Copies of this chain bind each other. A is one copy, B any other.
Amino acid sequence: MAQSNGRRTSRRGIYLKLRQMVLTLELPPGAALSENELAATLGVSRTPVRESLILLAQEGLVQVFPKIGSFVSRVDPAQVADAQFLREAVELASLDDLPPEPDPAVVEELRDNLNRQQHEDLGLEEFFDLDEAFHQGLMRLSGHGNVWTTVAAAKGHLDRARRLGLHENVSPAVFAAQHHEIFEAVVGGNTQLARTSMRNHLRAVFSDIERIRAHSPELFATDPSTVPVRRNVVVWE
């Protein structure tokens, strides 16, 4: 329910850019962020950078330690589980509010989305974008499109865990098929089938994460608050 008015400020752009970089793991979990360094790189002053980091910190994607440093937060399994519970509760409840006659425009949009998911040479980021749009479209179908904003803001840790998973192996094809199954149940008016399909889909996504955690534990937070490590000062020349 972020209420940002459309005015263009440099902060807005920086916030979106950093957020994207964190979610896509271009800025990996644990990476050190320096307000000064980011400001220099982006060609602005500390102020808009700092304000962006504060917003990201409130979302849980960044941790700020006063007088020490700012870091991309490690993927917290507890927050992943919380986000999983949240999205499952919301998306399933949304299915109960589907109208008898869904908006044809949205249905068409979803159908087009599914077609694109089946393309052979689909990049990972493209798939994630389509996945996001698909789930949000379903929420819009039941009139709760804006609630997706809240869910999306809360599932940053889950999204990063998913990207870790799909980076390893596993083609998106399986998930695309599940999307299709959900869609057919929805347009067919079979709410019960839609619910079970959706639940299975979301749980499958979730179970993938546990596998990854055993594989790459260093990207996950172990203790509730892992100790921040100031990076060594490296001087070039």
Q: CA A90 – CA B92 in complex, angstroms?
A: 10
Question: Is A131 part of the binding interface, using a Cβ–Cβ cutoff of 8 Å?
Answer: no
Q: CA A86 – CA B87 in complex, angstroms?
A: 10
Known contacts A55-B55, A93-B88, A93-B89; is-contact A64 B5 (Cβ 8 Å): yes
Most buried by B among A7, A73, A86: A86
Binds B, one of A142-150, A177-185, A187-195: A142-150
Residues of B close to A60: CB separation below 8 A: 1-3
Q: CA A93 – CA B87 in complex, angstroms?
A: 11
Question: Is A82 part of the binding interface, using a Cβ–Cβ cutoff of 8 Å?
Answer: yes
A130 to chain B minimum Cβ distance, whole angstroms, is 24
Known contacts A7-B65, A63-B5, A93-B88; is-contact A150 B144 (Cβ 8 Å): no
Q: CA A73 – CA B92 in complex, angstroms?
A: 30
Question: Is A41 part of the binding interface, using a Cβ–Cβ cutoff of 8 Å?
Answer: no
Question: Is A9 part of the binding interface, using a Cβ–Cβ cutoff of 8 Å?
Answer: yes
Residues of B close to A4: CB separation below 8 A: 57-58
Residues of B close to A93: CB separation below 8 A: 85, 88-89, 92-93
Contacting B at CB under 8 A, from A60-104, are 60, 62-66, 73, 78-79, 82-83, 85-86, 88-90, 92-94, 97
Q: Evaluate contact between B147 and A2: CB separation under 8 angstroms.
A: no
Q: Evaluate contact between A3 and B63: CB separation under 8 angstroms.
A: yes
Q: Evaluate contact between B1 and A82: CB separation under 8 angstroms.
A: yes
A123 to chain B minimum Cβ distance, whole angstroms, is 29
Question: Is A154 part of the binding interface, using a Cβ–Cβ cutoff of 8 Å?
Answer: yes
Residues of B close to A97: CB separation below 8 A: 85
Question: Is A54 part of the binding interface, using a Cβ–Cβ cutoff of 8 Å?
Answer: yes
Q: Evaluate contact between B3 and A86: CB separation under 8 angstroms.
A: no
Known contacts A60-B1, A89-B89, A89-B90; is-contact A82 B146 (Cβ 8 Å): yes
Contacts from A to B (Cβ < 8 Å)? 1-5, 7, 9, 51, 54-55, 57-60, 62-66, 73, 78-79, 82-83, 85-86, 88-90, 92-94, 97, 144, 146-147, 150, 154, 225
